[in-house]
Amino acid sequence: MPRALVTPTILRNVPGNYSDILTQGGFEVVYPPDGFDTYPRANLLQVLEGVDAMLASTEPLTRDVLSQTKLRAIARMGVGYDSIEVPAASDLGIVVTITPGTLEESVAEHTVALLLGVTRDIVQRDREVRQGFWTRKPLPRMAGKTFGIVGLGRIGKAVVPRVQGLGMKVVACDPFADKEFAARHNVTLLGLNELLATADIVSLHPPTTPETHNMINRQTLALMKPGAVLINTARGAVVDEEALCEALDRGHLFGAALDVFKTEPLPTNSPLLKYENVLVCTHMGGLDCESQIATSSLAAKCIVDLYQGRWPEACVVNKQLRDGWKW
Active site residue ranges: 235, 264, 283
Helix, strand and coil in the chain, % to nearest 5: 35, 15, 45
How far is 311 from 291, CA to CA, in rounded Å?
23
Residues in a beta bridge with 84: 61
How far is 196 from 219, CA to CA, in rounded Å?
11
Number of Cβ within 10 Å of residue 295's Cβ equals: 28
How far is 214 from 274, CA to CA, in rounded Å?
21
Report yes or no: 236 and 264 within 8 Å, Cβ to Cβ.
Answer: yes
How far is 126 from 135, CA to CA, in rounded Å?
10
How far is 215 from 208, CA to CA, in rounded Å?
10
